[in-house]
Amino acid sequence: MTQNVTQTTKKRILTGDRPTGPMHIGHYVGSLENRVRLQGEYDCFFIVADYQFLTDHLKETDRTEYNIKQVILDWLSVGMDSTKSTFFIQSMVPEIAELTMYFSMLVTVARLHRNPTVKEEFKASGLHAMSYGFLGYPVSQAADILIVRSNLVPVGEDNLAHVEQTREIARTFNRTFKEVFPVPEALIGKVPRLPGIDGKKMGNSMDNAIYLGDAPEEVRRKVSAAITDPARIRATDKGHPDICNIYQYHLAYNKEESPDVARLCQQGKIGCVACKQNLAAKINAFLEPIRERRAFFETRPSIIGEAIREGNERTSQEGKRTIGLVREAMHFDYKELVGVSQAVGTMRSEL
């Protein structure tokens, strides 16, 4: 197997997304931006987490394939590069499921019940009972991260609890068996949680998100409908940027002008309509190159297919290496029982 030196000495990133629908401008400042920025510096693995999609979308599996394609188009359109980084699909790398099995023994049920993100998502899901897979998905996420022995995990704030769980699992494994895993760090984006245009959590099911693929008029329509400082009625009233939803967007997408925006608003010298028009223009300017790249990749589906095939293969190879180390550390390689070449069967591709 040929692998160049820089690739093997670089530290690793693993992060990714559920294929629940198109990605929005909150995802960009929360995590996508960091991925693009760190792509040259780290050996990056990006996962489309289709098992996780099952936790609260079990009745919509007919949409999974379409959604996966949309996620990958979003990735490519923001500048995540499948020729530099490894794109793969969770369910197509079976070593992840195998690692999940071992990890599931290292976590208590009580610990899983304490995960605040799982609780929040269950509430939002509208389901009346939680499946074993829903409760346990943070264990599977730990396997996503550790299957390639990742060092850094760029995520939005809502995934911090999962990275913490992953760190605990890595430490427990290393202490119980042998030092196999790094204890990965989370990396949060410059705006950890951009609110939706209604001021609530920005999300696909809430009809309050500005999508990376939105057309210019759609962006203008959404921004003009967004809620602002509720105490402000006339344009000349003094505003309160600190409690204004739209000001959060200026901080994220119009950073340079944001001190002026805040001052003029506080003095009642700029009305919400003008302030929003300015913001929509800034968001549209930001989205323009993203739209162009999307249009390019939309007409070239073979690039996506190839990226996934190669990415699955590379992740699986790395996964086999990790599983080999895990089985050896756990005395689960059964060398005497079945003979060396069989016992290291999961690593056979390297022989």
Binding site for ligand TRP (CB under 6 A): 14-18, 47, 49, 52, 141, 144-145, 153, 155, 159, 162
Please state the closest distance from residue 121 (CB atom) to ligand TRP, in A: 8
Closer to ligand TRP at the Cβ: 144 or 333? 144
Q: How far is the CB of 141 from ligand TRP (least distance, A)?
A: 4
Give me 229's structure tokens: 């400082």
**Cβ of residue 135: shortest distance to ligand TRP, in angstroms?**
14
Q: How far is the CB of 341 from ligand TRP (least distance, A)?
A: 33
Smallest separation, CB 91 to ligand TRP (Å): 12
202 or 262, CB closer to ligand TRP?
202
Q: Is 97 exposed, middle or buried (0-12, 13-18, 19+ CB in 10 A)?
A: middle
> CB of 27: closest distance to ligand TRP in angstroms?
9
Q: Which is nearer to ligand TRP, 17 or 318 (CB)?
A: 17
Residue with Cβ nearer ligand TRP (153 or 290)? 153
- Give 208's contacts (C-beta < 8 A, 6+ positions apart): 196, 197, 198, 200, 202
Q: Which residue is nearest to ligand TRP (CB)?
A: 49
**Which residue number, 143 or 261, has a Cβ lying nearer to ligand TRP?**
143
Residue closer to ligand TRP (CB basis): 13 or 275: 13
